[in-house]
A and B are shown apart, each in its own frame.
Chain A
Amino acid sequence: MDPAIRLRAVTKTFGDTAAVTDLDLEVPRGSLCGFIGPNGAGKTTTIRMIMAIYFPDRGELEVLGRSRALDAKDRIGYLPEERGLYRKMKVASFLRFMGHLKNVPAAELDRRIAHWLERVELGAFANHRCEELSKGMQQKVQFVAAVLNEPELLILDEPFSGLDPVSTRLLRDLFLEQHARGATILFSTHQMSHAEQLCDRVVMIHRGRKVLDDTLAAIRAQEEPRQLVCEPLADEPDLAPLEGLACAAAVTREGAAVRVTLRAGADPAEALSAVAAALPSRRVELRRATLEDVFVGIVTGEAPAC
């Protein structure tokens, strides 16, 4: 099956600045793909090219089997990072307008608007002007505008920025629901924890170039654990035995826990036994590399500290 998104050697520059350079990307249909990278990495520019808002200087682009996203816009839902509404328009009118633009059948439109406004707990605000809503409420309205056409591909650019934890959870559940429905989701964020919790696949870009592209499981499998965390039985444990271990490069306190960073080449399984023997503990575990560790490692050129 064709991927939902395919980019081949796509390059985009603004003046002398290369925003994206020779980017190859494939997002399989039905996947929930995290698109991560620091601020200014080129995520939004890439997404705008996928959405045919920007046009690449070089390279090929395919979205939902079409060579131009313009031909598939009605099958795509997009929640941009820069969000806005027509402030003077009423919520339902704005959504109706967006539904018309996305060719949602007229007979379906009002039903879907009412349904989605209820889902995002804004049913009572249908006839309020957009400017009367809080920022979080406006963000929910924009999410509704993005999913109103029941898209095959949903692109979310920093969807949780500015949301409180309750709204974040609500929105997260809603877009996981869209994924469960069968929609492909490309989810851009600079918060690695979100991508780690939600995505099955991760693409990482840095300074406009792709530096990582794999499933989350494969990424984790590639990263050898480099840290041990133990929880000593004693309230004030003596760390000297740990510091004397040949496998330990560093020993640090983390609240009630102790973190042991392993020397390069140290065997994690042997280190686990040695640490347990050196410091009586309730728990000793090998810490898996987080996405953030992987990211920092790539960006700084160092191996993830796990």
Chain B
Amino acid sequence: MLRKIGWVARREFAATVMTRGFVIGVLVLPAIIALMAFVMPRMMDERAPRVVGTLAVVDDGNAVLPGLERELAPRELARRRVETGDRLRERISESLPEAAAAAAGATEAALAGALAAALGEVPDLRLQRIGEPELEAWKARLAAGTGGRPDDFGTAVAIIAVHPNAVVAADGAYGAYDFYVPPKLDDRLQDELRGALNRVLVEARVAAAGLDPGQVAALTSVTGYSTRVVTPDGERPSHEALNLLIPAAFMGLLLMSVMSTGQQLMTSTIEDKSSRVVEVLLAAASPVELMTGKILAQMGVGLLMLGIYAAMGIATLASFAVLDLVDPALVAWLVLFYILSYTMMAGLMGAIGAAVSDVSEAGALLGPVMMINMLPWLLWLPVSRHPDGALAVAMSFLPPVNLYAMLLRMSSASPPPLWQVLASTALAAGGAVGALWFASKVFRIALLLNGKPPSLRTLVRWARMA
């Protein structure tokens, strides 16, 4: 029996791997990642349309308008953008290794350029003080839209209505302001306007309280800090972005391998059936031998893909000297989790492949399976952010997605206790055995049946009667 399984697996593996399609398929993912890293910063070179117009300000006490005019002067806006760029660059270089940032096209010059482009051109705003009675008329102008000539200062960009107690507290409470914007105003400009107004308000309040604004600013701002990770081998910079990306990379790798090989198994089973070679094979091997051989072959294909991608990932991390971010034990767990997750998926996909006569018929049966496979992507952020949360723990024990959740938790900053890992693995192993049982029953009945494609309920009925 094992010999026949081996021969079926060998042929299937060779038929999958020794094709141009497989080689191209394996190279496509790293090529896309490299392309995105290279192209994305350049794609961000789309400049936001330059905004020209009037910002109406209701400021009865004239407490904020002068400061706002200063803050929103084109030269001041440009200076702030450069400062923002510097801060962002500083954070990125803290989170990502320098080499990685450079590799992503984020060299200093490129980053500065990209950031400037991302933030858009400096707006040219004329500030106009208006009275409370004029507010409704200006709102009507806003509602009419911002579309006018590019140099049209008659266009209303936004309205700021400063509360009377925004600078000097009334009854012990400070007011703020109302910010009116047209339906489509660049969100980056809105942030700049709000930021400028907030700073001006704080400054005005500090001055009104008789304090030195410069001193208060110095006291309330902290800059120049750094985060260092202390390891047994010494200190190193913190790579926060990588800490978030690595669990996602592990889960993505697992999901991609499982999905692509599961799909391949289904397609190959359908091909065997539609080309009618299946009965010739059944003359020499049992349905279970055939199914097991095919499943093992695609498992081998998946392990080969995992090996290739893992080697590429390790080589990349090693070249950036951040290999210590990956726990070698996690790689071993990844392989084990792949085998179990794939087997669960293979049971379903193999059964679907055996039940239908061509790929187009598989759609209805594939729908629920695809929905299950979307779950891990939905889980990524909630589980990564709260690896000990109720959702993360619950999903860790719900086959067939439990191992994706478990892998995310294991690669997070707060890994689960070993008993949970073992229990989840045991559950997945049980799920894998169940899926194989289901597939073998469906294989026995459906492999030579043609005609109307069965429903999921029919598949379950076949499994029970076989």
Contacts and interface: CB of A to CB of B under 8 A. Distances in A.
Interface of A: 48, 51-55, 70, 73-74, 76-78, 80, 82-89, 97-98, 100-103, 142, 145-146
Interface of B: 3-4, 7-8, 11, 15, 275-287, 444, 448
Contact of B285 (A48, A87, A101, A146): A101
A53 B7 contact: no
A87 B268 CA distance: 13
Contacts of B3: 100, 103
A84 B284 contact: no
A51 B282 contact: yes
A86 B275 contact: yes
Contact of A53 (B4, B15, B448): B448
Given A53-B279, A85-B280, A101 B4 contact: yes
29 contacts: A51-B282, A51-B283, A52-B286, A53-B283, A53-B287, A53-B448, A70-B286, A73-B283, A76-B283, A80-B283, A82-B448, A84-B275, A84-B276, A84-B278, A84-B279, A85-B275, A86-B11, A86-B277, A87-B275, A89-B15, A97-B11, A98-B280, A98-B284, A100-B7, A101-B8, A102-B284, A103-B3, A142-B280, A145-B280
For the complex of A and B, 5 pairs with smallest distance between CB atoms: A84-B276, A78-B283, A84-B277, A101-B284, A80-B279
Given A73-B286, A98-B284, 18 more contacts: A53-B279, A53-B283, A54-B448, A73-B283, A73-B285, A76-B283, A78-B283, A80-B279, A82-B279, A83-B280, A84-B275, A85-B277, A85-B280, A86-B11, A98-B280, A101-B285, A142-B280, A146-B283
Contacts of A51: 282-283
A80 B448 CA distance: 12
Given A84-B279, A101-B7, A73 B287 contact: no
Contacts of A88: 15
A161 B276 CA distance: 16
Nearest to B447: A53
B107 to A, nearest CB: 48
Nearest to B1: A70
Interface centre among A76, A84, A146 (most CB of B within 10 A): A84
Contacts of B282: 51, 53
A53 B285 CA distance: 9
B280 A84 contact: yes
Interface centre among B279, B281, B285 (most CB of A within 10 A): B279
Contacts of B8: 101
Contacts of A48: 448
A102 B283 CA distance: 9
A97 B284 CA distance: 10
